[in-house]
Structure 1
Amino acid sequence: MCGILGYSGDFEKEKLNKGLEKIAHRGPDGQGTFFHNETALGHRRLSIIDLSENAKQPFEILDRYVVIFNGEIYNYLELKKELATEGFIFKSNSDTEVLIYAYVKWGKNFVLKLNGMWAFAIYNKNDGSLFLSRDRLGKKPLFYSLSKKGIIFCSEMKGIYPFLEKVSINYAVAKNALNNSFGYESTENCLINDILRFPAGTNATYRDNELKFEKYWDPEKIKIQVPENYEKQKEIFRELFLDACKIRMRSDVAIGTALSGGLDSSSVICTMSHVSKINDKVSHTQKDWQHAFVASFPGTSLDETKYAKTVTDHLNIQAHFLNIDPLKDLDSIFYKTYLFEELFYAPVIPFVQLYENIKRHNITVSIDGHGADELFGGYPFDMNAALVDSLPSMRCFNQVLQAINNTEGSAVNNDRKNKLKYAMLNKYPVLQHFSKHLSLIPKKEQFDFLNSTLFQSSFKTILPTLLRNYDRYSMMNSVEIRMPFLDHRIVEFAFSIPYTSKIRNGFGKAIVRDALADLMPQSIAYRKAKIGFNAPMHSWMNQELKSWIGDLIHSTDFNNSTLINKKKVFDSLNTIVSQKEINFMQGSKLFEQLIPVIWEKSLSYAR
């Protein structure tokens, strides 16, 4: 895991080092640069696999190819063995060297052989071309700026800032982001003018001032053959997940996990424990993995520490509980927002503090549970689509409704009449003529209604945004996140099984629970209500943050903001702050209205 920056064209060399300084948090363990003709490559290193100088980047082979690479190739040992049989000789134990030799051997389509996360650039000294690639799901970020002068690319927008004439807000994108925080990450559009986002699942070649894209992985076409029998599906998922965890435990540094006590993070750490007991000398799994980090919100409804402790007690390992302190980072909230770069409705403090604590304990890799909700139906609003699939069977409809209400913590038959109407209007188009208020699911021909909805969450809205967010939360603290649920084999499997494998017996994510239940406490595997990692803004605003917010809405920064209706926001915030008690919805809404002011102020660090 690292930070990369490069250019090809008529640019000033000294700006490369300025850009690398701006992304130093992504790689505190070293810096390297390479210059050749009008091409420059820069790298900030976070050492994880092969800590020696043999693995430093930029990495050059055959006096022809030079690579800079951010990410991890988890199946590098298998690929290395395959390449060695072809006569390739390696000087390091790094996945970087395997990656570049794989390119030499198999050409640009070698990325289809990779299991991992990546954003990299390979420069060909012979013809001056650049080959760029980003992983299937876009776990690793990559931005670029294209002009008559050439191309600049980087892991974060801020690394490109020194090359721009000015850093200015793209107001059209910013307005969209404020209306829908999940609406723009899957597009090329960025919040800063003259910077674009490199698409996920895509390769590109830059030559003669022309950038040509080629999509190598299309989520519209990822269905695979899966047995219809649920028991066999469970076996396949379990095998895939165990292997996904095992290869993500490959590391030359200690690893840990961010544990909430929910199903997803518990599945990860319990599987890590199970895998660690298997005597497999060739897998290169890290033995120092027993580090669980739990964000604690004492005295609030969002505190899940008792569930996390149930898991760590079950595994007989120590947990590190971190009491999130909103006052601790208020002085640096503008700088941390600058590091975060994006407009998002939630505050960065709780998430940043968690990974800051992980790093403080000398853990550089965190294996986390992201992705299960989007792939397997963990959000009640996504699960609603399965109500449509369940018709015409009322028995199946009732089972899905039960699962939704269990997840929400509602009564079993809560909102049954409206849910049935919603399902029937989507299932039977002829009924749509009799309703003025339609909420239709954009169904894809190759998927059922649930998977069509999960497709949007996984590839268009929620998951791309969360992947971006957690990359920033962790990497501003020099911590790498690995996500076994997002192994591409599991993603393809998830979109090849029907809704009945995801929602059954009163639970969402059923196949995850049923396949892994024997590895964890039953109270966790079949825990019904979902909380999630959210900040209890209402509790904080009733106490610590109230005066800080009052100061902010009377500040020059607030008055100078160009992203808000100042009078409307001031009146709204003033009304809420003046109340004795603030509820959860009010607290969330209040801070959401402040985000544009905080973000715009953070840009002062860009200049």
Structure 2
Amino acid sequence: MCGILGTVPSSESSQFKLALDTLTHRGPDSFGIENISNEVSLGHRRLSILDVSAKGHQPMFHESKRYAIVFNGEIYNFLEIQKELVNLGHSFRSSSDTEVLLKAYIEWGEDCVLKLNGMWAFAIWDSQSKKMFMSRDRYGKKPLFYAQINGKFVFASEMKAIFPFMKQLEISDDFHWMKKNIFFYEATEKCLIKGIKRFPAGYSGHLERGELKLYRYWNTLDHLVEVPKSYDEQVERFRELFMDSCKLRMRSDVTIGTALSGGLDSSATIAAMANLSKNNNSYSDDWQHAFVASFPGTPLDESHYAKMVTDHLGIGATFVDIEPLKHWNNLEHYFYQFEDLYITSPLPMIMLYGAVKQNGVTVTLDGHGADELLSGYQQGALESLWDARFSPKNTKDILSIYQGSINEDKDQYERVGNFKVYKDYMIRKIGKKVLGQKMPSIDNGHPNFKKLDNLSQYLYSMFHENILPTLLRNYDRYAMINSVEIRMPFMDHRIVSFVNSLPYSSKIGNDYTKRIVRDALDPYLPKEVTWRKSKIGFSSPIVNWMQNDLSDWFMDNVNSKSFIESNLIENPGALRDRITQIVSKENSNFAQAQKCWSEFSPYIWEKAVLNTDMVNK
């Protein structure tokens, strides 16, 4: 896990080093810069995880000196690929996955990415053909940005590393659309800064004569699989895949742990790790490190569930009290490092992974991706109503699931009776069918998309195009700000293909969301966690903060001259009044407070990112 930077043609050394150093948090252990024949500059900041010796140093050259690579990510199945390459005549100087990746490219060309199980963003320069090959992992777990600046092609792990090559920073033409559509821009090439583009997930490309030509190498719909007909066999197959996914992700030469919420997904992950270790089937013995974010006295605190899990597994846990005042003075710096906008404050997540690092852990295996893959949200229950419409029994079951999955923070939702929920949904759905409206997805014309049931189509879009891409971006930043790598077993591409091939009834049913996960991992978890229906999202208790610890801070800011004159706030006076109502406790609605934060945060982003001095140094 690292930070990468490159320019074609090469760049002046001091400017390039300044740009690379903006990525120090991504790779604090060492750095490397190579200028190759004035044709290309390659830079790397290293977070040492596999082969922590100097043999894993980057940029890495092939013995022939023809090829050079900079790579951010991890290839979990690198040992299996290495064995295959050895049988084909390759030899290895290191035990790093970077060398395996470079030689896989030399052996199989651009198709090498289809062999990879992992997360990546990398660039390989061929000094003979004067071409650069670039690729980003299937789902976009690792970030990659690029820009064309005065005839120079620049790419980097974060936008800030591109800033020093730019004359000035301006907001994108789409900025105001993006700030209102937080979950819909990450899966596009759109960026908040004008002139910078996002390299798309599941794409590769080659740069030749200054022109980047992109092509899509991975579409989950092209990789659906035959699933067992019986549900019990599906459960067994899912368990096998998940255990193997965790096993591969426990390959590490440094200490690993888990960010444990007490919810099903993170609990399933650490339970799988414990089972693998207990049966001597693990690549790491040093995994027993659970970190739990605690929000004492707020509706978001679920640390008691996390303790149930660690007690059940017989391991300890580090409970991290999220106290905003301790870190709030760093907020602008965190926004600069985070670079993007989101619906909630980044502070709790940054604090959690900060505690992970402070306690000597560099890698975590976390439960991200399961909600979007397997229907962990309320809306998924509604979408499955269409699939169950001819079965009164299944419809009743799904409505029960919908009601049972309402967040424990009851202030967020108003409960509505089953009949009204069903009627309102079906009226909307039938209306869309009559109007010929398809499930919104860039892939809704794909033959295999049409074969998916309604819930699976909905989840496909959530996983590939809106909610999950945004969360992947967020958690990459939260962790890497603290020099921590997150691995996500639920996002193994074999699991994604398998789950997308399952019928809706395997994902939601028998009175539970994420049905197959619960049945597969039940033997390893306390029943109170496996069969818990309610859900708490990992967020900020924003109402509590606005009305207590941070009330003065909010009022000082919304009454400041710079806020009233901000070009990024469309109606600062009205927003100030709404925030004042929450701070004064006239309004304590969570959803409205969160909306206020979403509308307020561009002001902090403007001060932290747009007004940075990291430009044209």
When the two structures are superposed, what TM-score results if normalisation uses the length of structure 2? 0.94
Please name the residue that 2:2 is paired with: 2
Please name the residue that 1:324 is paired with: 322
Structure 1 gaps of 5+ residues are none
Which structure 2 residues correspond to residues 422-437 of structure 1 after superposition, within 5 A? 422-425=424-427, 432=434
User: 1:404 pairs with 398, 402, 405, which one?
Assistant: 402
Which structure 2 residues correspond to residues 102-181 of structure 1 after superposition, within 5 A? 102-147=104-149, 149-170=151-172, 172-181=173-182
Which structure 2 residues correspond to residues 263-278 of structure 1 after superposition, within 5 A? 263-278=264-279
Secondary structure at the aligned position of 2:522 is classed as helix
Alpha carbons 1:11, 1:149 under 8 Å: kept = no
Please name the residue that 2:74 is paired with: 72
Distance 2:254 2:613 in 1: 33
Distance 1:302 1:441 in 2: 32
Please name the residue that 2:583 is paired with: 577
Cα distance, 1:331–1:380 mapped onto 2, change above 3 Å: same
Distance 1:398 1:80 in 2: 52
Alignment of 1:600 onto 2:602: no
Please name the residue that 1:568 is paired with: 574
Please name the residue that 1:292 is paired with: 290
User: 1:522 pairs with 523, 527, 537, which one?
Assistant: 527
Cα distance, 1:567–1:429 mapped onto 2, change above 3 Å: closer
Please name the residue that 2:338 is paired with: 340
Alpha carbons 1:167, 1:606 under 8 Å: kept = no
User: 2:380 pairs with 375, 382, 386, which one?
Assistant: 382
Please name the residue that 2:188 is paired with: 187
After TM superposition, the structure 1 stretch with the greater mean CA deviation from structure 2, 328-337 or 477-486, is 328-337
Please name the residue that 1:453 is paired with: 458
Distance 2:489 2:591 in 1: 33
Distance 2:349 2:146 in 1: 27
Please name the residue that 2:554 is paired with: 549
- Deviations 1:508-528, CA, capped at 9 Å, x for gaps: 100000011001111111111
How far residue 83 of structure 1 moved from its aligned partner, in angstroms, is 0.8
Alignment of 1:533 onto 2:533: no
Distance 2:591 2:181 in 1: 17
Cα distance, 1:123–1:428 mapped onto 2, change above 3 Å: same
Aligned-partner residue type, residue 195 of structure 1 = I
Aligned-partner residue type, residue 524 of structure 1 = V
Distance 1:227 1:606 in 2: 57
Please name the residue that 1:474 is paired with: 479
RMSD across aligned C-alpha pairs, in angstroms?
2.0
Alpha carbons 2:10, 2:35 under 8 Å: kept = no
- Deviations 1:90-137, CA, capped at 9 Å, x for gaps: 010000000001111111101000000000000111121100000000
Secondary structure at the aligned position of 2:168 is classed as coil
Distance 1:89 1:455 in 2: 41
Please name the residue that 2:470 is paired with: 465
How far residue 423 of structure 1 moved from its aligned partner, in angstroms, is 4.9
Secondary structure at the aligned position of 1:321 is classed as strand
Alpha carbons 1:158, 1:606 under 8 Å: kept = no
Aligned-partner residue type, residue 513 of structure 1 = R
Secondary structure at the aligned position of 1:605 is classed as coil
Alpha carbons 2:10, 2:41 under 8 Å: kept = no
Please name the residue that 1:507 is paired with: 512
Cα distance, 1:229–1:57 mapped onto 2, change above 3 Å: same
User: 1:490 pairs with 480, 495, 498, which one?
Assistant: 495
Alpha carbons 2:10, 2:36 under 8 Å: kept = no
Aligned-partner residue type, residue 551 of structure 2 = K
How far residue 430 of structure 1 moved from its aligned partner, in angstroms, is 9.9
After TM superposition, the structure 1 stretch with the greater mean CA deviation from structure 2, 235-244 or 2-11, is 2-11
Please name the residue that 1:52 is paired with: 53
Please name the residue that 2:227 is paired with: 226
Please name the residue that 2:16 is paired with: 16
Alpha carbons 1:55, 1:92 under 8 Å: kept = yes
- Deviations 1:150-186, CA, capped at 9 Å, x for gaps: 310000000000111111111x332122212101000
How far residue 454 of structure 1 moved from its aligned partner, in angstroms, is 0.4
Cα distance, 1:580–1:396 mapped onto 2, change above 3 Å: closer
After TM superposition, the structure 1 stretch with the greater mean CA deviation from structure 2, 480-489 or 381-390, is 381-390
Please name the residue that 1:26 is paired with: 26
How far residue 428 of structure 1 moved from its aligned partner, in angstroms, is 5.2
Please name the residue that 1:416 is paired with: 418
- Deviations 1:467-513, CA, capped at 9 Å, x for gaps: 00000000010000000000000011110000000111110100000
Alpha carbons 2:401, 2:513 under 8 Å: kept = yes
Structure 2 gaps of 5+ residues are none
Distance 2:581 2:242 in 1: 49
How far residue 580 of structure 1 moved from its aligned partner, in angstroms, is 5.9
Alignment of 1:588 onto 2:578: no
How far residue 329 of structure 1 moved from its aligned partner, in angstroms, is 1.5
Secondary structure at the aligned position of 1:31 is classed as strand
Distance 1:287 1:605 in 2: 43
Distance 1:606 1:205 in 2: 32
Alpha carbons 1:425, 1:431 under 8 Å: kept = no
